Amino acid sequence: EFLYCDLASMTSIRQFVQKFKMKKILLHVLINNAGVMMVPQRKTRDGFEEHFGLNYLGHFLLTNLLVDTLKESGSPGHSARVVTVSSATHYVAELNMDDLQSSACYSPHAAYAQSKLALVLFTYHLQRLLAAEGSHVTANVVDPGVVNTDLYKHVFWAT
């Protein structure tokens, strides 16, 4: 069975989680992999800059709404997992807390990098919280490297 979830919409995420939880099934792995890369400046339905809204806030909300289900699903020796896909571009990012929407001076690369840095920091923090409470859930962030997908369609060197 397929359940639809638009990670650029907070309403869609909440509806998805509600439907998923009603099914009363275990969740052993949550892979946060949806995203956009270097798109022109535009906003999500909720009014967030698209990189930040979809790449970071969508995954942040989805993970936080499902963490209790992950905790219920994990067991000693069989931890549930959150796997968040990021990018090496987070190394060159600056998290501008005064302009998370990248509205002052929009750069698609900077907005993408900032969203990936936010994901890395969130995942590190989540792992520390989960470990401190002794839960059977791990949070990991990975960089898959360059992968041939449509993610690069807005990148000048990929055309």
What CATH topology corresponds to 10-158? Rossmann fold (3.40.50)
Average pLDDT in the chain: 87
C-alpha to C-alpha distance for 123 and 139, rounded to whole angstroms: 6
Distances from the Cα of 103 to the Cα of 43, 44, 156, angstroms: 11, 14, 22
pLDDT tens figures, 62-87: 999 999 999 999 999 999 999 999 87
Q: Residue 159: is its pLDDT beyond 50?
A: no
C-alpha to C-alpha distance for 50 and 37, rounded to whole angstroms: 9
Give the global pTM.
0.85
Residue 28 backbone dihedrals phi, psi, to 5 degrees: -90, -30
Instruction: Encode burial over 110-146: b for 16+ CB neighbours within 10 A, e otherwise.
Output: bbbbbbbbbbbebbeebbeebeeeebbbbbebeeeee
> According to the model, what pLDDT value does residue 85 have?
92
Confidence of residue 99 (pLDDT cuts 50, 70, 90): low
**Which stretch of 3-12, 16-25, 82-91 has the lowest confidence by average pLDDT?**
82-91
Q: Which amino acid is at 65?
A: L
C-alpha to C-alpha distance for 130 and 108, rounded to whole angstroms: 33
Confidence of residue 130 (pLDDT cuts 50, 70, 90): very high
4, 56, 91, 112: the active-site residue: 112
Helical H segments across 86-159, by residue range: 108-132
Number of Cα atoms under 13 Å in the Cβ half of residue 94: 5
pLDDT tens figures, 19-68: 999 999 999 999 999 888 888 899 999 999 999 999 999 999 999 999 99
**Domains of the chain: which residue ranges?**
10-158
Is 112 an annotated catalytic residue? Answer: yes
